[in-house]
Amino acid sequence: MDIDIIKITMKQNPSKDIKGLLDKLSEINYMERGKLTAEYRTRPASDGSGEITLGPYYKLQARENGKNKSRRVPVRDVAILEQDIVNFKKFKDLVSKLENTIIDNTRNLRASESEKGDTTDAKKKLYEETLREKYNETEKFLEVARQQILSEGFDQSPEWLELGLRDALSRDACKIIETFLNDRNLFKDDEAPQALEARHKAREIKITTLFGKISLKRHYYHHRPSKTGRFPLDDKLGLEGKYSPALARLICRAASMAPSFEQGASDLLAFTGLDVNARQFGRVADAIAPGLKEALATITIPCPTAELEKEIPVLYVETDGTGTPMRKSELTDRKGKQKDGSAKTREAKLGCVFTQTRTDEEGNPLRDPASTSYVGTFEGCRDIAVLLHQEALRRGLGRAQKVVFLGDGAAWIWNNCKITFPGAEQILDYYHAGEYVVEIAKAVHINDEKKATALHERWRKSMKDSSPKKLITEAKRLLSKHPEWESSRRELIEQKINYLESHASRTEYGKYREKGYFIGSGVIEAGCKTVVGSRLKQSGMFWSKRGAENILDMRCLFLGSDLERVWAKRIELKIEQKRKARRWNPEDQAEAA
């Protein structure tokens, strides 16, 4: 049968009979061929009083592939099976009627076309009509715009023309992509049902794409024993709920990079003309972020590009933490800095990796452009160490000539460094060490601010040029020279001196500068503000741990260079997980077999 002729028939002379028959066929969800029989068996009674009748025992008999086959049917399934057999007979009758109706319509159309001309002309006319329909909205808008400009002149900004044309093109694009996605010659949806599954055809869903909302029809596979179902085509198309994959990625970007979900929704509306509820941003992020995190953990080698195949002169690793406001339910039994010992925040641990290949004319280090990537977590100290090491591997740790680890004085930072980056050059942040120098100077000249300022400026310059050894020696000499100082004053100075001495191996700043290294952890300090603070610490925000973790993970990913690899890997893992997913128990499988 000529499918094009049928399409032209439905286009030019739509048949209510055909539509009615198709509607009736779509109402049939379950059917079974064959004949259901019942048999009874007898056996002698145990007391010898006669015979006992057992049953009924049901069998389904059918002819399949030229052979007669039969199988037992449990009593609990008899009523359902009887209805399925009735449905099959009804289905055959409807198919026969549909076949006869289409043949009659085809004969009538061909007879009509033989009078008017060859059917090729009708096909060509239909194609031209369809093409015009695809760009109907754009043509309408352009005509209206022409008339308005001719009648009113062109005295105002053409912004309305650009925005109007964008909206018209989007409406036409919706029609085009809807036609494409519903073309089963392009996007197959013919997967055979698995055991104990029933296939329901042409189930409709409204999805939102980059251009707007469209309608998609696809098959639904229902597994009756477990009362679950699936849409294989949804997985093949990469749909994220009711959003297309391209739009879902945009929503994730806006959800993580904008200051809030509301701002993200506003930005999306301004950039694309799509009005998506701000609440959906959090839901889409919660659905996609865990898969991205899982995908990122599986990638531990650098991206195979020519740029990354070069040796890396210096690879820097930095880490720090910053508090993030949390809901009360997330802070139960957590110690904090409040007067009563409670906590209002939970620490987000952030790490970054970047590279340096050169210095400026004065020997100051220059960070390579676009070389910084981030990882973050709300878990423990060791978790950020693992994430940092994985990120360093992705960034080319194995090709780095030198690894430099920068951080402040927190003990967990240096413990992680010793375990995860044992061969790295450890540098205590110069500005962090400088704060201790300031406190020593203020304690020495407790009543003279000008002398204290002059002293700590001299000491800090000395420390930057070499190390804290000279200022420590001088501070100790001052302590010996002034035994009359109060014990609290002396204890403060001794405490700061002890701190600097404990980090003696990490404060050789003169040597580090000669080698052209950074001596300040400004990159991670700025990261705590830009990566964490500007998104998770806005006024009025209180997060769940899961929600904050998801946004932090995606924010780090969008700011890095591995987004494409990770996104593709997430889709690959998602397909594999669905393939392996068990959708029924062993008893069901045995029955199906």
Q: What are phi and psi of 467, to 5 degrees?
A: -165, 175
Provide the pairing of β-strand 197-209 with 365-367.
unpaired
Per-residue pLDDT of the chain (593 residues; tens, 9 = 90+): 344 444 444 454 456 677 777 778 778 888 888 888 888 788 787 777 777 777 788 888 888 777 788 888 888 888 888 888 888 888 888 888 888 888 877 777 766 656 555 556 655 665 565 556 667 888 888 888 888 888 877 777 788 889 999 999 999 999 889 988 998 888 999 888 888 888 998 899 999 999 999 999 999 999 888 888 889 999 899 999 999 999 999 999 999 999 999 999 999 999 999 999 999 999 999 999 999 999 999 998 887 654 556 789 999 999 999 999 999 998 888 887 788 878 899 999 999 999 999 999 988 999 999 999 999 999 999 999 999 999 999 999 989 999 999 999 899 999 999 999 999 999 999 999 999 999 999 999 998 999 999 999 999 999 999 999 999 999 999 999 999 999 999 999 999 999 999 999 999 999 999 999 999 999 999 999 999 999 999 999 999 999 999 999 999 999 998 999 999 999 999 888 877 765 545 555 555 44
CA 94 – CA 86 distance, rounded (Å): 12
The answer to whether 476 touches 485, Cβ cutoff 8 Å, is no
The pLDDT assigned to 546 comes to: 95
Answer whether 324's CB lies under 8 Å from 379's CB: no
C-alpha–C-alpha distance, residues 154 and 161, integer Å: 11
Q: How far is CA 19 from CA 57, 205, 220, 241, 249, in A?
A: 42, 20, 21, 30, 39
Could you give phi then psi for residue 94, rounded to 5 degrees? -65, -40
Q: How far is CA 525 from CA 257, 417, 421, 436, 530, in A?
A: 19, 18, 20, 18, 9
How many CA atoms lie within 13 Å of 100's alpha carbon, on the beta-carbon side? Answer: 5
Axis crossing angle, helix 487-502 with helix 469-481, rounded to the nearest 10 = 160
Per DSSP, the three-state class of 199 is strand
CB count in 10 Å sphere of residue 426: 18
pLDDT of residue 373: 95
Evaluate whether 109 touches 9 at the Cβ level (below 8 Å): yes
pTM of structure: 0.73
192: helix, strand or coil:
coil
Beta-strand relationship, 373-377 and 400-407: unpaired
Q: Which residues contact 15 (CB under 8 A, 6 or more apart)?
A: 9, 101, 105
pLDDT at residue 303, as a whole number: 72
- Structure token digits, residue 591: 């029955």
Handedness of CA 239, 242, 245, 249 (dihedral sign): negative
**CA 395, chain centre distance (Å):** 22
Does residue 487 contact residue 395 with C-beta atoms inside 8 Å?
Answer: no
Residue 194: phi and psi, rounded to 5, are -85, 180
Q: What is the pLDDT of residue 121?
A: 63
- In contact, 73 and 58? CB cutoff 8 Å: yes
CA 498/CA 38 separation, integer angstroms: 93
Q: What is the H or E stretch that residue 479 is in?
A: helix 469-481
Q: What are the tokens at 557?
A: 């990913």
Contact 284, 277 (CB under 8 A): no
Query: What pLDDT, on the 0 to 100 scale, is given for residue 128?
Result: 61
User: pLDDT tens-digit profile of 77-86?
Assistant: 888 888 888 8
CA 584 to chain centre: 28
Q: Which of 339, 341, 349, 343 is nearest to 331 (CA)?
A: 343
Q: Which two tokens stand for residue 77?
A: 């399934």
Q: Which two tokens stand for residue 331?
A: 């802070």
Tell me the C-alpha distance between 219 and 365, whole Å: 60
Q: What is the DSSP letter of 335?
A: B
Distance CA 160, CA 167 (A): 11
Q: List, in sequence order, every residue forming a beta bridge with 352; answer none if it has no partner.
A: 318, 374
Tokens found for residue 83: 């209805």
* pLDDT, tens only, 111-130: 665 655 555 665 566 556 55
